[in-house]
A and B are shown apart, each in its own frame.
Chain A
Amino acid sequence: MSGAPRVVLVDDHGLFRSGVRSELGRQVEVIGEADDVQPAIDLIGSVQPDVVLLDVHLPGGGGQAVIQAIKPLFPSVRFLALSASDAPEDVIAVIRAGARGYVTKTISTAELADAIRRVAAGDAVFSHRLAGFVLDAFAASSGSSGSSDVKPSFDPELDQLTSREREVLRLIAQGYTYKEIARELYISVKTVESHVSSVLRKLQLSSRHQLTRWATERRLA
């Protein structure tokens, strides 16, 4: 975390890219832009930024295609997903592919810069909307544990959120900042961060197919 994080913007809207670039200009170092999956993969491979600001929806396959191509090669590159039209299943898919957080495009510049810094430092960034999606996904996946087709993953820990994690997510969904959450729950900000990171880990590692099924059901509904 020395100096401003080096950032690559991946978004198919040129207008949005230039807007973000000019707004973020002083707070982070924007070292490149790409407008689709393949150019993004090439660019990220060659400049290896700290953080990639990644649109969930890209014409050539969606944000997760970029993450899946880059993750194995450059594990140090971190991704922050953002989108304007967020269908829950798309957002969860990007997070499961490996993004460290998700924010909406309506986010203010200051908040966005802060989110980029946090992701660069290795933290997870949950917007209130993502917190809602995650609660929803895990509620659905733990809900049908009585049915017969459940195959618990190798580590059942991963399939459920602890009550503390739930509490933290609920407060995020209510618009609390990490500092406010820490005060509300009488814990330190670091602990809040570790809870959020743990939720992220569960979200990414859980092989429970209910998470997939939740996405399918959402799509059908």
Chain B
Amino acid sequence: MMESVEDPAPWHRGRDQFGPWGHRHRGPFWLRRRGHGGPLRRDPAERLAGGVASGVAAWKGLNVTTVRIAFVLIALVSGGFAVPFYVAGWLLIPAAGEDSSIGSRARSDSAGIALAVGLATLLAFVLFVGGVFNDGWFAGWAWPQTVTVAGLALIWRNASPDEQATLRRLVEPLGAAGAGRAGRPGRRSAIRLTLAGLLVFGGAGWLFSARASVALLRPLGGVVLVIAGIVLLLGPWWLRIARDLVLERQAKVRAEERADISAQVHDSVLQTLALIQRRADDPQKVVWLARMQERELRSWLFEGRAPGEAEADITFAAGVRQIQQDVEARYGVPVEAVTVGDCELDENLNALLAAAREATVNAAKWSGAGVISLFAEVEPDSVSIVVRDRGKGFDPSSVPADRKGLAESVHGRMVRRGGTADVVSAEGEGTKVTLRMARPAAAPSRSGGAS
């Protein structure tokens, strides 16, 4: 985990998926299709075994599964001959986010080499002593083991913590089979081990004795017994590995979700809070910022819409919300919008919305009111919007001819579509514009109670 902070390589899938501005790069997916053009790196985040296949896949822009299948096929066709190449790849290709491979680190790890040599010498000495008392086969069989152990010690010392964990998992069943591991229910595993041992030895014995007889079924039975024994012996460990894989995957999904949310919060809330701190001396601006943020967060939380994302198919209520947003954003006057019911938009309702927008803008520009209320209600037979402010108001009979906003865009618009517009205003009493549009009879017949 620490490497990702120290060495944010561009191809690294770590925590630096967010750029300096918090935007989320679509990196990994994009890269996957074209190859990232960087040097070949193993990809521990996507690994099944050593991460070589996923590294090659990311490097060449291939599908991981394809590469894995190819690897397995090569291994099978070569009769296992190619497997050491995979191991060599694991040793020699650095993991993503690291500078050096395990192999190169091992070469420069003088203490480790000393340790390995020391270990090998010690082991060799023990084996040599053992060999003296034996007739030689023991020592001859054991020399490769000495080299292996020394090599493993070197690899272990230079593997990253992640890979050490994997290696530990691989070695674990041997430890589990050797002795009941601490902290695990001893009796159960003792019974399991005994049973497994009996099955394996029984099966093996059967196999050996079957060599003498010609019965075809008996060796088969032996094979079954051996397999059963192995499953019993290693089953729990396999299960654990499978479970770990599932847990790992779930944790990854959760982490991605959290990353999404934190990106969202960073993009919107934190930015706004920063702005508010800088504008602390301008209360109106602060209120405006807070309201804008509130609206944005609300639409994200309750309507699942990302900020800035256009509403795909806009309904009447969404149209009213847009009026609210636009007027608040442009004129800095809070608009309290309440909508009751909702329906699809048509030509008439678009005209109604346009008229309501005009009336709201008018109120924001001229009334001087601190807040404008916008009330929209969808009823079975009609749709109405009321725009109201407690501002200075005006005398409707003495509107100068050049202020045609209300008369033309509001009244005219409504009347042309068969609706009505009613303006009530008086000096010092605020203004109330009531717009009503009848709904076509085809609309779902809802008996809207008493109206």
State whether A139 and B448 are in contact (beta carbons under 8 Å apart), knowing that A131-B338, A173-B340, A175-B373 are contacts in the complex.
yes
B interface, size bucket: 20 to 34
Question: Could you tell me which residues of chain A, from 129 to 162, have a CB within 8 Å of some CB in chain B?
Answer: 129, 131-132, 135-136, 138-140, 142-146, 160-162
A140 vs B338: C-alpha distance when bound (angstroms): 16
A77 vs B373: C-alpha distance when bound (angstroms): 33
**Residue A128 at the B interface, CB < 8 A?**
yes
| Residue from A128, A132, A146, A166 in contact with B449 in the complex, judged by beta carbons closer than 8 Å | A166
Question: Could you tell me which residues of chain B, from 328 to 369, have a CB within 8 Å of some CB in chain A?
Answer: 336, 338-341
**Residue A38 at the B interface, CB < 8 A?**
no
Which partner residue on chain A sits nearest B297 by CB separation?
Answer: A85
A221 vs B448: C-alpha distance when bound (angstroms): 21
| Residue from B297, B336, B390 in contact with A128 in the complex, judged by beta carbons closer than 8 Å | B336
CB distance from B328 to the nearest CB of A (A): 13
State whether A170 and B336 are in contact (beta carbons under 8 Å apart), knowing that A143-B446, A143-B448, A175-B371 are contacts in the complex.
no
A142 vs B340: C-alpha distance when bound (angstroms): 14
* Residue numbers in A under 8 Å from B336 (CB-CB): 128, 175
A174 vs B335: C-alpha distance when bound (angstroms): 11
* Residue numbers in A under 8 Å from B371 (CB-CB): 175
**Residue B377 at the A interface, CB < 8 A?**
yes
* Residue numbers in B under 8 Å from A136 (CB-CB): 340-341
**Residue B301 at the A interface, CB < 8 A?**
yes
**Residue A87 at the B interface, CB < 8 A?**
yes
A87 vs B301: C-alpha distance when bound (angstroms): 10
For chain A, the count of residues having a C-beta within 8 Å of the partner chain is 26
Interface flags for A86-125 (1: CB within 8 Å of B; 0: not) read 0100000000000000000010000000000000000000
A170 vs B384: C-alpha distance when bound (angstroms): 11
Which partner residue on chain A sits nearest B298 by CB separation?
Answer: A85
Which partner residue on chain A sits nearest B339 by CB separation?
Answer: A132
**Residue B388 at the A interface, CB < 8 A?**
yes
* B339 and A142 within 8 A (CB): no
* Residue numbers in B under 8 Å from A106 (CB-CB): 294
Q: From DSSP, what is the main secondary structure of chain A's interface residues?
A: helix
State whether A129 and B450 are in contact (beta carbons under 8 Å apart), knowing that A87-B302, A173-B375, A174-B386 are contacts in the complex.
no
**Residue A163 at the B interface, CB < 8 A?**
yes
* Residue numbers in B under 8 Å from A144 (CB-CB): 446
* Residue numbers in B under 8 Å from A132 (CB-CB): 338-340, 375
A114 vs B379: C-alpha distance when bound (angstroms): 33
* B451 and A166 within 8 A (CB): yes
CB distance from A195 to the nearest CB of B (A): 13
| Residue from B301, B445, B447, B449 in contact with A138 in the complex, judged by beta carbons closer than 8 Å | B449
CB distance from B291 to the nearest CB of A (A): 8
* B341 and A139 within 8 A (CB): yes
State whether A166 and B341 are in contact (beta carbons under 8 Å apart), knowing that A128-B336, A173-B375, A174-B373 are contacts in the complex.
no
List chain A positions with a Cβ less than 8 A from chain B. 85, 87, 106, 128-129, 131-132, 135-136, 138-140, 142-146, 160-163, 166, 170, 173-175
* Sample of 8 A–B contacts (CB below 8 Å): A128-B336, A132-B340, A139-B340, A146-B447, A161-B449, A166-B450, A170-B386, A173-B375
List chain B positions with a Cβ less than 8 A from chain A. 294, 297-298, 301-302, 336, 338-341, 371, 373, 375, 377, 379-380, 386, 388, 390, 432, 445-451
**18 further interface pairs, Cβ-Cβ under 8 Å (given A131-B338, A136-B341):** A85-B297, A85-B301, A106-B294, A128-B338, A128-B373, A128-B375, A135-B377, A139-B379, A139-B448, A142-B448, A143-B380, A146-B447, A160-B449, A160-B450, A163-B450, A166-B449, A173-B338, A175-B375
